């Protein structure tokens, strides 16, 4: 069962504090980089060279100046639907293979740049959102490293998925007590947080998912009406049970689900586009929608559609992450992790398993955030 949620007054009725501060400016560059502590087997001579080697010893480095931290040992990396768009060249067609993939990770600091040593220590647990995270060792700017209490994958669920739900609902949701909120892919990595934050705002929450087991999970985190779309028709349920429509839609599926959500909008309803996972495996990354009738539908209801992309809200990112960490520490937030324990080939525990983890996500098998564990390499010379 999910822990009880204490409803408190706060920013936008979501438990948000006053608008969080912007990220601090990066520290001034240091004249040199050097290790600040020993590691098993001797001192670390410096950051690893950029290498594209065999699959069991891939080391990636992101060249971002001299103020850096490096993380390793029992690292965790997060799998996101956006990984496909990035690797397919849809986000930035100018990026050509080979390039480093993955957006987020968590691990221990094993070496520090000179200026970074003022704020971080070797052995400290940090999370980070940076390109090239699917690697055994990663070099990231100190300014993007976020200290976390321990190397628990639950903290990693907050980094991209949690902050996406938090910031999008805060900026675009207009939530208040009594409103009806529809969350698509509600049992996924970010949907689980949209459900919980909407409930914290005293909303009535509907969540779509693909199985009875996921329905049970959604109920455990407060979802009022889970809909298993493999057992019930989502459009029929919304028409019959919510004839006045829904006030807010948190939409990340696209295609036919997007069309159903538009049709279900109430007068002055809002639909937030977070993603479109149903189309990521198509050549364009998009599933077709009934866009020809969209203007008339929006006009008829004075409704609106807005997109949300986390990169456009980075000044608020650190404040959001800090607040979510406090919510989790206080038992106000469930951070469901899926490490692939129920997959045919077992848990996701290596770089090689990232491919399985992505397939697992697109087969709609996961409940919660998919996290891959990267144990230390026994052959590593770092």
Instruction: Give the pLDDT score at 380.
Output: 54
Query: Residue 326: pLDDT above 90?
Result: yes
Spell out the residues 6+ positions from residue 67 whose beta carbon is closer than 8 angstroms to its own. Answer: 26, 27, 28, 29, 30, 113, 115, 116, 141, 142, 143
pTM of the model: 0.82
Closest residue by Cα to residue 89 from 238, 251, 283, 263: 283
The dihedral through the CA atoms of 4, 8, 14, 16 has a sign that is negative
Spell out the residues 6+ positions from residue 53 whose beta carbon is closer than 8 angstroms to its own. Answer: 59
DSSP code for 119: T
- Cα–Cα dist 187/191, whole Å: 6
Residues in the chain: 382
- Residue pair 180/207 in contact (Cβ under 8 Å)? The answer is no
Phi-psi region of 254 (alpha: psi -120 to 50; beta: other; left: phi over 0): left
Tens digit of pLDDT for each residue in 48-103?
A: 333 333 222 212 222 223 345 555 456 899 999 888 888 888 878 888 888 889 99
Highest-confidence segment of 13-27, 100-114, 237-251, 367-381: 237-251
Tens digit of pLDDT for each residue in 179-209?
A: 999 999 999 999 999 999 999 999 999 999 9
Highest-confidence segment of 39-48, 192-201, 272-281: 192-201
Q: Which H or E run contains 291?
A: none
In this prediction, residues 5-32 reach a mean pLDDT of 36
């Amino acid at each position: 069962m999910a822990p009880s949620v204490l409803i408190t007054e706060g920013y936008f009725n979501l438990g948000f504090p006053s608008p969080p501060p912007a990220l601090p400016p990066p520290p001034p560059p240091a004249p040199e980089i050097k290790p600040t502590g020993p590691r098993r087997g001797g001192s670390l001579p410096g950051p690893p060279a950029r290498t594209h080697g065999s699959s069991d010893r891939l080391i990636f480095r992101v060249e971002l100046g001299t103020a850096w931290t490096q993380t390793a040992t029992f690292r965790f990396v997060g799998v996101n639907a956006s990984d496909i768009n990035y690797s397919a060249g849809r986000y930035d067609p100018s990026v050509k293979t080979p390039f480093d993939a993955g957006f987020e990770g968590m691990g221990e600091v094993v070496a520090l740049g000179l200026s970074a040593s003022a704020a971080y220590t070797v052995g400290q647990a940090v999370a980070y959102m940076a390109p090239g995270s699917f690697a055994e060792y990663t070099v990231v700017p100190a300014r993007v490293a976020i200290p976390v209490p321990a190397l628990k994958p639950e903290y990693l669920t907050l980094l991209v998925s949690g902050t996406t739900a938090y910031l999008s609902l805060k900026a675009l949701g207009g939530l208040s007590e009594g409103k009806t909120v529809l969350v698509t892919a509600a049992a996924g990595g970010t949907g689980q947080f949209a459900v919980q934050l909407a409930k914290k705002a005293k909303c009535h929450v509907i969540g779509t998912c693909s199985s009875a087991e996921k329905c049970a999970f959604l109920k455990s985190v407060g979802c009022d009406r889970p809909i298993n779309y493999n057992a019930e028709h989502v459009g029929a349920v919304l028409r019959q049970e919510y004839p006045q429509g829904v006030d807010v839609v948190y939409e990340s599926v696209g295609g036919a689900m997007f069309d159903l959500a538009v049709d279900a909008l109430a007068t002055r309803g809002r639909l937030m586009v977070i993603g479109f996972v149903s189309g990521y495996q198509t050549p364009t990354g998009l599933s077709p929608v009934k866009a020809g009738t969209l203007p008339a539908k929006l006009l008829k209801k004075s409704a609106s559609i807005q997109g949300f992309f986390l990169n456009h809200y980075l000044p608020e990112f650190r404040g959001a992450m800090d607040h979510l960490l406090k919510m989790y520490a206080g038992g106000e937030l469930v951070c469901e992790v899926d490490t692939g324990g129920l997959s045919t080939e077992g848990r996701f525990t290596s770089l090689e398993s990232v491919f399985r983890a992505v397939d697992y996500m697109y087969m709609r098998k996961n409940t919660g955030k998919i996290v891959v564990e990267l144990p230390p390499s026994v052959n590593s010379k770092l």
